[in-house]
Structure 1
Amino acid sequence: MTHIAVLGAGVVGVTTAWYLQKAGYQVTVIEREAAAAMQTSFANGGQISVSHATPWANPKTPMKALKWLFREDAPLLYRLRADKDQLKWAMQFLQECRADRADDNLVQMVRLGLYSRATLQQLRRNIDIQYEQQTRGIMHFYTSQAEFDAAVAPTERMQELGCERHFIDVNTAASLEPALYPIAHKLVGATFTSRDESGNAHLFTQRLAQSCAAAGVHFMYNTEVLALNTDAHSNRPHVHSITIRPKGENAQTFSADSHVVALGCYSTALLKPLDVHLPIFPAKGYSATYRVNLRAPHLAPFISLIDDEYKLVISRLGDKLRVAGTAEFNGYNMDLNSVRCAAITERVRFLFPKGIIANSVDYWTGLRPMTPSNVPLIGRAHCGQVRHGSENVDATFDNLWLNTGHGTLGWTHACGSAKAISLLMQGEKPPVKFDFIGV
């Protein structure tokens, strides 16, 4: 039986393991943390949001970024650092801000999002998995006329691509989500996508990992991946083993037939010695989790929301409200910035002043693996500069695959990406028109 090593046990790695074992492979997952979903998948915004496909890189972003440059609480904060990798990524990001590139990237993300949402829904029909899911749709709401006007063209483009995101008036928005009534007079418009969903990505990943283990997937937790070892004498680049270091032990060698890198931001450093250059840079995202005021639970939203002006997503998870968003480009720094945390709470207090217990907040931060285009890298690894759509390239590895770079939409795209990579590894073509790499 072919043995596949999946590197990383976030939501992307665990879903990859699930679909590979369903395809009949022997699967081992290697993870440096003590359990699944303890890094970027731990406390994210919780949305399955096909409708949130407008890339960060679009024609309006450069001017906004300049305006936000010295604002500590800016939705997008780019810290100027003496880091050539960050500078290179920023230059690539600016290239993706062209209108034609932004449209192409939106198309890629909507296609993958629709496929992935359908794949998750099929998974839920197949197995009994509960993760505080809500299937009430997702609403984008706007308190800024300029932001609402800017959403018109992307929304219409998504509709053309089959995403059922529709404009609704303020009264309809408040009727769908009564928690918005207190600020309805400040709203200028909204859109609603009825088939989008929300849920606890951490809980989903851990419970799916349990299902994987019950089906025979082997998990090696507390184990760091140090290096991928290649065979220089092969006709094609080939990984013959992995150097790993279990916690408290010396480095050792682990072997498998094929390997899938799903390490998010940490994929880049691992692959660079193999001359595989990933355009991935960490974007530090923040989240705040509040207890819902159980004396007035209707004043906290049940429908998952997106506040486009402040780049925040809002999801009801049981008796808690999760609010997540913003992007800070500051390398691999994991410190919580109190100013940015306070800005989230200030906005939530404005939106739902009586719906949450503000002093109950738990703040969290995680590193999202962002490509300049926002489009993830799914397919065979190859030497040189890797980007989505880089097909028929020389020096493609025969047993090294990528499922990484999902940025802010890792939870949205996880199941579709995992199903797709499993089909590619079986020599099949996934039923989604997406720019896979190295195939």
Structure 2
Amino acid sequence: MSHVVIIGAGVTGVTTAYALLERGYSVTVIERQRYAAMETSFANGGQLSASNAEVWNHGSTVLKGIKWMLKTDAPLLLNPLPSWHKYSWLAEFVSNIAHYRRNTVDTTRLAISAREYLFAIAEREKIDFDHVRRGILHIYWDKPSFEHALKVNSLLSEGGLDRRPVTAAEVKSIEPALHGDFYGGFHTPSDSTGDIHKFTSGLARACQRRGVRFIYDAAVEDIARNETYSIGYSLGSPSDGGDTSRRTIEADVVVICAGAASRNFAGMLGDRVNIYPVKGYSITVHLDDEQSQRGAPWVSLLDDRAKIVTSRLGNGRFRVAGTAEFNGMNRDIRDDRVKPLVEWTRMLFPAVGTSRVVPWAGLRPMMPNMMPRVGKGRLPGVFYNTGHGHLGWTLSAATAQMVAQCIEQEFRAPERSAVPAVA
């Protein structure tokens, strides 16, 4: 009997559980939080964006990063304090500039294929996640940035994406609520947006109904290999009066989908998965009055200058997200990083009230080449689906299928059977 244990109940872990469930495997998901989708899959920018598939490994990104180093409100912020992990990751990031073109095209193709799976899952399981299918509009304030976008567009087109240049007048006609003096833009009609937390938690409930076991409040402490894998974890915490006794669960297959923590688990299993946590921020603006609801956009935006994205989450919420902060596993929500998001909202959408704004920060798990780590580990029965960076939700449904296919090639799915008991 092949029993698969997945570590992590974010969007990659839950979509992986679903893909394996569809193939007939017995699946258990272990998650350190009390519910699914409580970390990086909680309040991201909300975009399902093949149009944002350009990898960051470009000379212009490095130059901008150096220029922004001493500005606390810059779109990209690097804590200069020494860290071997950070600087070795950055060196590897720079070395992957040579693969910028290939990786951008490959990411575009992967993002397009992921749509089919994700939309089918949501329809089949009747998951309501505030899905809006009005495309994504990229806006540019000057000619040089627009001309760079033209070059990027050729790569996205090579990957199969229909992303169309639009004039400044067309920008305003596509999204009338938008205020600003723009040079031009690009519109991708096939992209869409939604609430990642609603999608992931809804899919987790669907998996649970169909037999996947979720163990929440479980901190994985070690993974040992004998004939099978023995995963040791503790439940709850002393502060909440929970049962903190040590437990173990046996697995034939282990899949690491643990976001920024995946690097540590990979180390337990003898693999090098060089993920760095790149912090991103978002604000959820509650549209509490009719004027704010009318003044907030329905078309999703990406402002290239500010590196900010938006999503409309139903009639009553507006999500604004952005920034990249290299500061290790720090999860602090800094006012000087949130403030630019609020000010940007006020500038571009003056009719939107910002009296009730909920800030959030999450750690994007990024590989130096900006490509997700999907596939086998060094040891038999170890697999990875992690490191998706800023495109976790966009790519998740496709990479879940990829890792499930890898597992299927080595471990044939058994007849449905009970999940082994927890020791």
TM superposition score category, shorter chain reference: over 0.9
1:92-111 aligned at under 5 Å gives the runs: 92-98=92-98, 101-111=99-109
* Aligned match of 1:79: 79
TM-score (norm 1): 0.89
Q: Does 1:348 align with 2:345?
A: yes
1:205-216 aligned at under 5 Å gives the runs: 205-216=200-211
Q: Does 1:132 align with 2:130?
A: yes
Q: Does 1:304 align with 2:300?
A: yes
Deviation readout 1:306-360 (Å, 9 max, x if unpaired):
1111111100001110011111000011111111111111111111011x22121
Q: Which runs of 5+ in 2 are unaligned?
A: 237-242, 411-423
> What secondary structure does 1:414 align onto?
helix
Equivalent pair of 1:336/1:365 in contact (CA under 8 Å): yes
1:211-222 aligned at under 5 Å gives the runs: 211-222=206-217
> What secondary structure does 2:66 align onto?
helix
* Aligned match of 2:53: 53
Equivalent pair of 1:239/1:400 in contact (CA under 8 Å): no
Cα distance in structure 1, aligned partners of 2:124 and 2:247: 38
TM superposition outliers: structure 1 runs of 4+ over 6 Å: none
Task: Quickly say closer, same or farther: Cα 1:230–1:2, change in 2 above 3 A.
Answer: closer
Cα distance in structure 1, aligned partners of 2:193 and 2:247: 40
Q: Does 1:406 align with 2:388?
A: yes
- Aligned AA for 1:86? K
How far has the Cα of 1:78 moved from its partner?
Answer: 1.1
Task: Quickly say closer, same or farther: Cα 1:239–1:74, change in 2 above 3 A.
Answer: farther
Cα distance in structure 2, aligned partners of 1:8 and 1:149: 40
Q: Does 1:426 align with 2:408?
A: yes
> What secondary structure does 1:358 align onto?
coil
Moved more, 246-255 or 200-209: 246-255
Structure 2 residue aligned with 1:179, among 159, 177, 180?
A: 177
Moved more, 13-22 or 138-147: 138-147
How far has the Cα of 1:293 moved from its partner?
Answer: 5.6
Q: Which runs of 5+ in 1 are unaligned?
A: 232-237, 383-396, 429-439
Cα distance in structure 2, aligned partners of 1:77 and 1:162: 33
* Aligned match of 1:235: none
Cα distance in structure 1, aligned partners of 2:299 and 2:89: 35
Cα distance in structure 2, aligned partners of 1:102 and 1:265: 23
Cα distance in structure 2, aligned partners of 1:68 and 1:54: 20
> What secondary structure does 1:322 align onto?
strand
Cα distance in structure 1, aligned partners of 2:327 and 2:206: 36
* Aligned match of 1:35: 35
* Aligned match of 2:17: 17
Equivalent pair of 2:106/2:159 in contact (CA under 8 Å): no
How far has the Cα of 1:239 moved from its partner?
Answer: 5.5
How far has the Cα of 1:240 moved from its partner?
Answer: 2.1
How far has the Cα of 1:16 moved from its partner?
Answer: 0.7
Cα distance in structure 2, aligned partners of 1:285 and 1:424: 31
> What secondary structure does 2:161 align onto?
coil
What number of residue pairs does the alignment pair up? 402
* Aligned match of 1:260: 255
Cα distance in structure 2, aligned partners of 1:46 and 1:163: 19
Deviation readout 1:146-191 (Å, 9 max, x if unpaired):
22222110112111221111111122221121112x32xx011110
Structure 1 residue aligned with 2:375, among 354, 379, 387?
A: 379
Deviation readout 1:269-303 (Å, 9 max, x if unpaired):
12213331111100010001102263232321101
Equivalent pair of 2:256/2:265 in contact (CA under 8 Å): no
TM-score (norm 2): 0.92
Structure 2 residue aligned with 1:359, among 355, 360, 376?
A: 355
Deviation readout 1:73-93 (Å, 9 max, x if unpaired):
111111112211111101001
How far has the Cα of 1:124 moved from its partner?
Answer: 2.9
* Aligned match of 1:437: none
* Aligned match of 1:67: 67
Cα distance in structure 1, aligned partners of 2:259 and 2:297: 31
Cα distance in structure 2, aligned partners of 1:226 and 1:299: 49
Cα distance in structure 2, aligned partners of 1:226 and 1:81: 29
Cα distance in structure 2, aligned partners of 1:264 and 1:320: 26
The share of aligned pairs that are identical, in percent, is 37
How far has the Cα of 1:127 moved from its partner?
Answer: 2.7
